[in-house]
A and B are shown apart, each in its own frame.
Chain A
Amino acid sequence: MSRRLRLWLLAVGGAGLAAVLAAACLELPGFGGRSHPYGTRAVRASLARHTANTIASVNFDQRAYDTLGEMSILFAAVLGCVVLLRQARDEHRERPRPAQVARPVRRYALLVVPAALVCGLYIVAHGQLSPGGGFQGGVVAATALHLLYLGADYRALERVRPLGAFEATDALSVCAYLVLGLAGVLAGTAFLANTLLPYGTFNTLSSGGFVPLLNAAVGMEVASAVVVLLANFLDQAVEIVEEEAG
């Protein structure tokens, strides 16, 4: 298809889609309206199960099965990346060279690593209480490790990042989520039903029944998934080199 024809097709299709979307927007309930039936019910259910952060309650209690699907997508995407970015036959690995880092960068990065790591773990641990949770905290904790790459060099990062262990943790945390779900089935209730554990005191760390446990499983999976992903991309950039032809 020529470029001109393609642009014409795009213009016609785009104009049609824009018209349909605009018509649909006019029919939607007004922005900022008062009526949110699902939201109201979700808040009520969350309060009934002593979970202060309603969003955590939606993710890990009311729609926990849906989160299992999201986790599987995450896991599959990481698996795909690992397969696609593996070392090919015509490539070899070079040991990364030690790098010179400016003194202030090094000092600041090494100072921030523990703070950022604790911050990430805090966000995971308080997911059922305050804004945050496994998804956000996992990303913070995983990227905190990579400050070592900025502050020192790639070899320092590799020492604190045993890749095999992180890959195993990724798989184990998906399993942990499944096993927690199956615990409900074994106890005679439904898969991923939050009815086994006591709901605890509202607004304390152990409140919400299964929510903190599922939250922790997701935190572990997201953190290890991000570490594995970044490791594979960094390996491509730093370690793996194509062999010279001939």
Chain B
Amino acid sequence: MSALMQVLPYLIAAYVFLTGCYGLATSRNLIHAVGCLSVCQVSTYILLLAVGYRSGGTAPVFSDIKPGTRPLVDPVVQALTLTDIVVGATVTALLLALVLQIVKRHGTLDPDELRELRG
């Protein structure tokens, strides 16, 4: 494998994370900002799965392969990614619920217009 391929997946994870950060900082719409946060989160999945990959590896599930016959990818990072996806989805839902309340109380989706606190 070439030297670039050795680091490319990690660089992609970093790129996706920075893209999400850029979106978050320049966002003018709160729903868009929640989406950008999800993009940041997705970059961690890419990083985790890239760390756990093994060349020629298959899923670490033994219902149809005999243990020890094939190389396996790392199950620990897969388990981390799996739980993170579900929890990430519900946290996104919580943020969207907050956005809904902001729109109801302040009548705007633009974070720049939310300057003063109101009771």
Contact = CB atoms under 8 A, between A and B. Distances in A.
B91 A77 contact: yes
Q: What range describes how many residues of B lie at the interface?
A: 35 or more
Interface string A27-47: 011111110101100110011
B35 interface: no
Contacts of A180: none
A54 B62 contact: yes
Contacts of A52: 61-63
A22 B11 contact: yes
Interface residues of A, number: 62
A74 B86 contact: yes
- Looking at chain B's contact residues, the main secondary structure is helix
B8 A31 contact: yes
A3 to B, nearest CB: 8
Contacts of B87: 70, 73-74, 77
A88 interface: yes
Interface in A1-46: 6-7, 10, 14, 17-18, 21-22, 24-26, 28-34, 36, 38-39, 42-43, 46
B11 A47 contact: no
Contacts of A63: 76, 79
Interface in B30-58: 50-55, 57
Contact of B22 (A10, A34, A38): A10
B38 to A, nearest CB: 14
A52 to B, nearest CB: 4
Nearest to B105: A88
A42 B9 CA distance: 24
Contacts of A17: 18, 21
Interface in B68-91: 71-79, 82-83, 85-87, 89-91
B93 interface: yes
Contacts of B109: none
A225 B1 contact: no
A33 B83 contact: no
A39 B62 contact: no
Contact of B26 (A7, A30, A135, A242): A7
A10 B104 contact: no
Interface stretch (A114-122, A148-156, A185-193, A229-237): A229-237
Contacts of B25: 6-7, 10
Nearest to B50: A31
Closest 5 CB pairs of A and B: A39-B74, A25-B10, A32-B55, A30-B6, A58-B79
